[in-house]
């Protein structure tokens, strides 16, 4: 599938883009950033404090950049600043060569045509069929009727919804509605796609299909995607980069793989631990305590990345430290196409040897951490009986 042909009207309307890939200091050409945000601050209400506090981030062409945060972290406002649905208090925003924060009127409207957007509740017009919903941005941009007629089947085909062209939104499932939303967002051949919790209203299976579609479009069209979400699973599934937002501040930002393997901020850790705790067997997860005590055993999480994955780690730990290790859980994720192995071990009666074990793991180039302390089952039983 080739990149969709631009219509002449849209081409005329598009201001000149920035110069093609710039050479970096070491002479290696790097993909240029298409979204650049500097010191973005948004204050709705002086008393309530800033919703966004000096947020800076940069998204390179072709990336899928996830912005994750709890509700109220400011992610909705952030994504709306990128197309000026929300006008920030201060800061610089550059999207696909447009100095967005400084534009208004006709210039802003033309710039917005380079930025597609999909919504949590799809935001489709109930009075238009799927095909006519997809036609809306083309009509708004003044594309000729005949051109629109030719483009719609291509766009619907791209999202796999050709059969539903004449259906009204009320006759479509949530996943199909979001497909229409995606086709509509792609109609003007944007440089960037903004996704505002696009899968939050969908069931897990449909979520996966929509995420696959987004990833597919990202690959086929080279489209840069900025997606906001409160679900780490969404980030894990498709994002190449992730920014963690907390109380309007960026607390962590980097390649998804690194953030998943070695989270630095407490927020990122807690987002991850929700996944990790979910991975542990329920009877262990229920007995996990944050502090060690006499009746607990440490639970160790070891992260394997790259070469170190070949080391015979468990056997090594048994030999060197005389610990017995029982495997609670193990999985290999492919994040951004790189394998990330995670192994959770219970080390019965080995609390005293944990520092030495961690030091050895670090020597092997592995990342190990204690994620909690499991109360021994017999002790837990005795305590329950006593209380």
β-sheet with 326-335: strand ranges across: 288-289, 367-375, 296-305, 338-346, 326-335
Options 139-147, 217-225, 246-254, 337-345: segment touching another protein (CB under 8 A): 139-147
Stretch that binds another protein, among 89-97, 168-176, 260-268, 334-342 (CB under 8 A): 168-176
- Taken in order 374, 379, 384, 387, the sign of the CA dihedral is negative
Is 12 one of the binding residues for another protein (CB under 8 A)?
A: no
What does each C-alpha distance from 222 to 30, 73, 211 come to in angstroms? 15, 29, 15
Instruction: Tell me if 121 contacts another protein by CB under 8 A.
Output: yes
Could you tell me how far CA 20 lies from the centroid of its own chain? 27
The CB-of-132 to another protein minimum distance in angstroms stands at 10
Residue 189 Cβ vs another protein, minimum distance, rounded to whole Å: 13
Q: Which residue in this structure is represented by tokens 């953030």?
A: 259
Nearer to another protein, 39 or 99 (CB): 99
Q: Is 201 in the site for another protein (CB under 8 A)?
A: no
Ramachandran sector of residue 15 (left: φ over 0; alpha: ψ -120 to 50; beta: rest)? beta
Closest CA to 57 of 86, 23, 91: 91
Among 7, 76, 77, 83, binds another protein (CB under 8 A): 83
Q: Is 171 in the site for another protein (CB under 8 A)?
A: yes
- Tell me: does residue 298 bind another protein (CB under 8 A): no
| Residue 350 exposed, middle or buried by CB count within 10 Å (0-12, 13-18, 19+) | buried
143-162 footprint of another protein as x/- string (CB under 8 A): --------------------
Compute the distance between CA of residue 108 and CA of residue 352 in angstroms, rounded to an integer.
63
Taking the complex as a whole, how short is the minimal distance between the CB of residue 9 and another protein, in angstroms?
12
- Return residues touching another protein (CB under 8 A): 83, 85, 108-113, 115-117, 119, 121, 123, 125-128, 136-137, 139-141, 168-171, 188, 194
């Amino acid at each position: 599938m080739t990149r969709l042909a631009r219509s002449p009207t849209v081409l005329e309307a598009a201001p000149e883009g920035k110069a093609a890939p710039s050479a970096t200091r070491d002479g290696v050409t790097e993909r240029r950033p298409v979204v650049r945000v500097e010191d973005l601050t948004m204050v709705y209400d002086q008393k309530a404090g800033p919703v966004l506090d000096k947020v800076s981030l940069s998204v390179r062409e072709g990336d899928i950049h996830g912005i994750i945060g709890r509700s109220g972290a400011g992610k909705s406002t952030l994504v709306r600043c990128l197309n000026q649905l929300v006008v920030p208090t201060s800061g610089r925003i550059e999207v696909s060569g447009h100095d967005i924060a400084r534009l208004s009127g006709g210039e802003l409207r033309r710039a917005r045509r380079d930025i597609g957007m999909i919504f949590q509740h799809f935001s489709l017009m109930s009075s238009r069929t799927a095909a006519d919903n997809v036609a809306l941005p083309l009509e708004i941009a003044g594309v000729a009727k005949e051109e629109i007629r030719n483009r719609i089947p291509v766009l619907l085909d791209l999202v796999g919804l050709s059969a539903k062209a004449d259906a009204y939104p009320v006759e479509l499932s949530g996943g199909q509605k979001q497909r229409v939303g995606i086709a509509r967002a792609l109609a003007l051949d944007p440089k960037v796609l903004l996704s505002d919790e696009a899968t939050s209203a969908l069931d897990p299976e449909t979520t996966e299909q929509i995420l696959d579609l987004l990833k597919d479009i990202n690959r086929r069209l080279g489209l840069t995607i900025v997606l906001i979400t409160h679900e780490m699973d969404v980030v894990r599934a498709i994002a190449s980069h992730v920014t963690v937002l907390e109380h309007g501040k960026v607390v962590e930002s980097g390649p998804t793989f690194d953030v998943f393997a070695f989270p630095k901020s407490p927020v990122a850790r807690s987002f991850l631990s929700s996944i990790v705790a979910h991975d542990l067997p329920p009877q262990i997860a229920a007995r996990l305590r944050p502090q060690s005590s006499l009746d607990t055993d440490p639970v160790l999480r070891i992260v394997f990345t790259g070469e170190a994955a070949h080391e015979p780690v468990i056997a090594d730990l048994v030999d060197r430290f005389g610990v017995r290790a029982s495997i609670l859980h193990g999985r290999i994720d492919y994040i951004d196409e790189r394998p990330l192995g995670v192994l959770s071990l219970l080390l019965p009666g080995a609390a005293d040897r944990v520092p030495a074990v961690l030091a050895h793991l670090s020597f092997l180039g592995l990342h190990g951490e204690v994620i909690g302390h499991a109360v021994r089952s017999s002790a837990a039983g005795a305590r329950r009986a006593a209380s």
